[in-house]
Amino acid sequence: MTDKAAEYLLRLTADNRSMIGNERAAYCVSLIEKTNRCTADEIYRLAADENGLYTFAENAESKEQETFWQAFQSVYMCIVSAEYRREGQKYLPEDFEAIREEQLNGFFTFLAEVQPDAEECLGYFCRNVCL
């Protein structure tokens, strides 16, 4: 299921490349590509890096950029959470406490079937996945 979410993030990034810029779009693609080659801890650290997703969301230049970064971060963190579970981790970092594990497959299916824009994605996440 995480493959579908990764495919969604690639499309979302491509659709918003002109808004976020080529350098940050390349960063997003790099993060997505690493999800299949790295452990959950490694991909989590990449996102939590001081020059990473959290910083981009905090320093967005417009409401549209902020929505994109929050949607991207939400999906990416769901992927990381699913990877932690797949690896058998019982205790996840604090950032994952608000993610309802039982809702992940439904969220990933929604992303694959609906292909929502960033605002729709974030809305679904907040209503259904996040505590």
Q: How many domains does the chain have?
A: 1
Distance CA 68, CA 64 (A): 6
Distance CA 85, CA 80 (A): 9
pTM for the whole structure: 0.92
pLDDT in tens, 18-76: 999 999 999 999 999 988 889 999 988 888 777 778 788 888 889 999 999 999 999 99
Q: Which domain holds residue 94?
A: 2-129
For residue 62, give the DSSP letter.
Answer: S
